Amino acid sequence: MAMESKFEHNKVEAKIYSEWEKSGAFEPRGQNPYTILMPPPNANASLHAGHGMYTIDDILARFRRMQGYAVRWIPGRDHAGFETQFVYEKNLAKEGKSRLEYDRQTLYQNIAKFVEDNSGLIFEQFRRLGFSADWERAVFTLDPQVVDMVYQTFRRMVNEELVYRSDYLVNYCPHCGTSLAELEINHVERTDKLYYIKYGPLTVATVRPETMFGDSALSVHPKDKRYTSYVGSEVLLPLTTRKIPVIADSMVDMKFGTGVVKITPAHDPNDFEAGKRHKLPTIRVIDQLGRMTLPKDVMISEINGMKVKAAREKTVEELQKIGAVEKIDEHYLHAVTVCYKCGRDMEPMTVPNWYIRVEGLKSPVVTAIKKKKTRFYPQKFEKQILEWMKIMHDWPISRQVVWGIRIPAWYSTTENLDLGVTFLNKEGKPVSGKIGELLKTSTLTEIEAGLQTLSAPTMAKYVVSESKPAGDYLQETDTFDTWFSSGQWPLVTLKEDEYATRYPTDVMATMADILRMWVSRMMMFGLYVRGEVPFKNVYLWSTVTDAKGQKMSKSKGNVINPIDLVDKYGADAFRMALLFGNGEGGKVPLVEDKVRAMRNFANKIWNMARFYLLMQEGIKREKQGVSENIEDKKILKELGEVEKKMTSLLEKYRFAEAADTIYHFLWHTVADEYIEQVKKREDKGVALNGLRQVLLDSLKLLHPFMPFVTEAIWQEINPGEGMLIVAKWPEVR
RNA sequence: GGGUUCGUAGCUCAGUUGGUUAGAGCGCCACAUUGACAUUGUGGAGGUCAGAGGUUCGACUCCUCUCGGACCCACCA
């Protein structure tokens, strides 16, 4: 069958891919293991341009496979707790429903179904890109063995006293009744009133006077001479009978306002940190419904129970009565955080959370990196992760979301009467209160069946158990932070007998912006659980952007769907375009022109093969040994150099330069020079031999980058022979 | 404010131990082309490698400063 004059990717890609899968070409063969774990994409996600960079994994897998390694590239899916629940709730909202209508179990099952319905698509899309992973080995982060591992690790950490509970300041939306992650917060600029309030001799500027009842201190800058004499003294908190200390902290900006700051640890992120530093009490004055709950020392009792805004007005009014308002700046422009859903102000407040102590977990990571147990490419990332390990603080691992692995801690309802509980009663109506009170009107079984959320005081007693302990217990409703489970990815993806030979894995290639969130955690867990780093090499890439270097986002309308480009230009062109000319660690602009150029390249080599085959039809190839022709000698020498260079570049993770090398060799040396010279040769039989060797070897070198077109050409030249089974990476001496 | 990083052709970017005329893709100009390929070929225009200073026999490459971006973190009560 004669080759067509164009490489028609649409006609061959699907066929080639199914041949690969059927022939077991991705199965590990050979002795020496080589292992790559795929960073698990969100289970319900569909392919975006960034996933295209998994091409890096595929290049390594194919390269090492051709070199004779027993390659395993294990894929997976992440349940992506918060983000998935966020997407799910958006869908619910379209139907006019809210998560608050469901008990916890039902909600979980609904989300599970939602994820299942939307799952699977991304692996199909990965196949379109030619990825040669072990699909049947795919792991989902909610699979039983993952949950087991997470429980085991957690239990061990509890036993070793690495786990503690503490209040953590979260962004809470009283209207929506939930705490929100950074993802869900909008920052808006707004003009508000800035009140100057006299606390005895000192004046404080604030936009939130109503939170003053939760003040634990006033703070000034240590170098601020105006106030030095006040540091260490106490002032009376207006409208109360309480005295608070004046402290010095360098976080204070001397130039802002009066240079005196009120410290309200329960309702401000900065103050929360300052409160920790100075061991100040955390006094909550706003509850989760956004109403004031004042301590007894407050003299204006009407404010108790008021909503925040009303409380602010009332507070100012009362302050004015006693002459404590020095002035009001009506036009203070500042940034406020608002709920992405309802647009209302976020209320920072403290909620009990689970933490792990990281101090002891960090140092093995630092040591391992310094000893080069794990190497980073590009190297600058080593500096970044070491810097991060320095400043990393204790990690809050609990999230107030349903979709995730539920923390296996149980509270006795007879010993912890002050457990806060919200559940749907038999009529489906939400009921909130302390468990001690609720049990007077409802049974524990009813409460457990309708349970929505539970909030245990930080001092509550608990037991860790995978199943319900005997007696009256309720399980924690918080789930683990997604990174707590995905951080153990290298500990759950291999089979038990593989750990001896495949751990540490060879390479982890992922996006640079999760170096801290994910890579550092995997190293921590790997060293903690197995005493060894989880991977020997880390390769990091930056965000895939549009042609102008802008991040892709729906709001900008610059999102490129990779599959559209694959349809139009072929998977090979798409893959090659992501690598070609893009330096390591830099941004990866996805430019359609470049994809087209790479499609042209695929077509170019297709036609080089076509030229060879057409020439072969008329002439017999000489089955002779070494050619004496000077052009043959020259090209073979150059081929040898290219083979050496490609091998070395791929071993050093220099993909862009490798892509460039093979591109130029094929197009500008083989096609432009060697083939043109072959046309003029008298000894065509000999020339054909040289051309064949150059072509076949070049196909091998290009194959990791452009698997489909190289396979298609290979089969044209060697009918009935699968390239993946036959082709070996050229030996380099 | 802290940290990281970048500023090279019209655009997007390569240029890893400092060493002859600084490269690619796309775009542009001229010409060619009916026996691999117009998804082509040949040739060409286009850069004081952000600026200043320093180290060196020699700097796009190393150091310092200035100007101008990017990102991450912390963010003005």
For residue A731, what pLDDT is reported? Answer: 87
The CA distance from A161 to A155, in Å, is: 10
Instruction: Provide the residue type at A585 as one letter.
Output: G
**Chain segment A511-522, per-residue pLDDT in tens:** 888 888 899 999
For residue A182, what pLDDT is reported? Answer: 63
Joined tokens for residue A26: 């991705």
**Chain segment A695-706, per-residue pLDDT in tens:** 999 999 999 999
The CA distance from A7 to A657, in Å, is: 25
**Chain segment A97-128, per-residue pLDDT in tens:** 988 899 999 999 999 999 999 888 899 999 99
For residue A187, what pLDDT is reported? Answer: 73
Residues A692/A717, Cβ–Cβ less than 8 Å: yes
* Nucleotide at minimal C1' distance from the A671 CA: B36
Which residue's C-alpha is at the least distance from the C1' of B12?
A547
**Chain segment A225-272, per-residue pLDDT in tens:** 888 899 899 999 999 999 999 988 877 877 777 888 899 988 988 888
Which residue's C-alpha is at the least distance from the C1' of B24?
A581
Is residue A1's pLDDT more than 60? no
Which of A185-194, A490-499, A507-516 is the least confident region?
Answer: A185-194
Q: What are phi and psi of A26, to 5 degrees?
A: -90, -5
- Distance, Å, A536 CA → B16 C1': 21
Residue A183 binned pLDDT confidence (cut-offs 50, 70, 90) = low
For residue A558, what pLDDT is reported? Answer: 77
Domains A178-350 and A571-726 share a fold: no
Is residue A85's pLDDT more than 90? no
Tell me, what's the ipTM? 0.91
Joined tokens for residue A646: 């490609």
* Nucleotide at minimal C1' distance from the A205 CA: B77
Give the alpha-carbon dihedral of A569, A573, A578, A583, to 10 degrees.
Answer: -140
CA atoms within 13 A on the CB side of A439: 18
Is residue A56's pLDDT more than 90? yes
- Distance, Å, A584 CA → B56 C1': 29
* Residues whose CB falls within 8 Å of the CB of residue A42, separated by 6 or more in sequence, listed in order: A77, A78, A80, A83, A84
* Nucleotide at minimal C1' distance from the A673 CA: B41
| CA angle (A312, A314, A317) in 5-degree steps | 110
Is residue A674's pLDDT more than 80? yes
- Distance, Å, A154 CA → B1 C1': 38
Residues A34/A109, Cβ–Cβ less than 8 Å: no
Joined tokens for residue A355: 């933490």
What is the maximum span of chain A, computed from C-alpha positions, in angstroms? 109
* Nucleotide at minimal C1' distance from the A667 CA: B37
Joined tokens for residue A715: 């089969």
Residues A167/A350, Cβ–Cβ less than 8 Å: yes
Tell me the β-bridge partners of A34: A71
The CA distance from A282 to A293, in Å, is: 13
Q: What is the CATH number of domain A33-167+358-407+481-541?
A: 3.40.50.620
For residue A396, what pLDDT is reported? Answer: 84
The CA distance from A18 to A135, in Å, is: 13
3 state SS of A306 = coil
Residues A163/A151, Cβ–Cβ less than 8 Å: no
Region A326-352: mean pLDDT is: 81
Domain residue spans of chain A: 33-167+358-407+481-541, 178-350, 410-477, 571-726
The CA distance from A165 to A157, in Å, is: 13
For residue A332, what pLDDT is reported? Answer: 80
For residue A341, what pLDDT is reported? Answer: 67
* Nucleotide at minimal C1' distance from the A664 CA: B24
For residue A192, what pLDDT is reported? Answer: 84
- Distance, Å, A29 CA → B4 C1': 42
The CA distance from A401 to A184, in Å, is: 13
- Distance, Å, A703 CA → B18 C1': 35
Residues A222/A166, Cβ–Cβ less than 8 Å: no
Greater confidence, A333 or A172? A172
Q: How far is CA A133 from CA A212, A541, A656, in A?
A: 58, 20, 22
Is residue A184's pLDDT more than 80? no
Is residue A48's pLDDT more than 90? no
* Residues whose CB falls within 8 Å of the CB of residue A621, separated by 6 or more in sequence, listed in order: A685, A688, A689, A692
% helix, strand, coil for chain A, step of 5: 45, 20, 35
The CA distance from A320 to A325, in Å, is: 5
Share of chain A above pLDDT 90, in %: 56
- Distance, Å, A513 CA → B71 C1': 9
Region A534-552: mean pLDDT is: 83
3 state SS of A198 = strand
Is residue A625's pLDDT more than 80? no
The pairing of strands A70-74 and A33-37 is parallel
Residue with tokens 């036009």, as numbered in its chain: A331
Q: What are phi and psi of A695, to 5 degrees?
A: -65, -50
Q: How far is CA A176 from CA A173, A339, A343, A557, in A?
A: 5, 9, 10, 29
φ/ψ region of A259 (left if φ > 0, alpha if ψ in -120 to 50, else beta) reads: left
Residues A199/A239, Cβ–Cβ less than 8 Å: no
For residue A627, what pLDDT is reported? Answer: 80
Residues A218/A263, Cβ–Cβ less than 8 Å: yes
* Nucleotide at minimal C1' distance from the A194 CA: B77
**Chain segment A564-612, per-residue pLDDT in tens:** 999 999 999 999 999 888 877 677 888 888 899 999 999 999 999 999 9
- Distance, Å, A207 CA → B34 C1': 81
Is residue A556's pLDDT more than 80? no
Q: Which fold has domain A178-350?
A: Isoleucyl-tRNA Synthetase; domain 2 (3.90.740)
Region A354-377: mean pLDDT is: 90
The CA distance from A63 to A76, in Å, is: 21
* Nucleotide at minimal C1' distance from the A675 CA: B36
- Distance, Å, A614 CA → B35 C1': 10
Q: What is the mean pLDDT of chain A?
A: 89
The CA distance from A254 to A222, in Å, is: 10
- Distance, Å, A570 CA → B32 C1': 30
* Nucleotide at minimal C1' distance from the A387 CA: B3
Is residue A391's pLDDT more than 90? no
Which of A158-162, A270-274, A299-303, A528-532 is the least confident region?
Answer: A270-274
Residue A693 binned pLDDT confidence (cut-offs 50, 70, 90) = very high
- Distance, Å, A594 CA → B46 C1': 21
Is residue A147's pLDDT more than 90? yes
Residue A81 binned pLDDT confidence (cut-offs 50, 70, 90) = confident
- Distance, Å, A201 CA → B11 C1': 62
CATH number of A571-726, picked from 3.10.20.30, 1.25.40.390, 3.90.1150.10, 1.10.730.10: 1.10.730.10
Bases of strand B lying below 7 A from some protein CB:
3-5, 11-16, 23-27, 35-42, 71-72, 74-77
The CA distance from A439 to A660, in Å, is: 71
Which residue's C-alpha is at the least distance from the C1' of B72?
A513
- Distance, Å, A67 CA → B56 C1': 44
* Nucleotide at minimal C1' distance from the A592 CA: B26
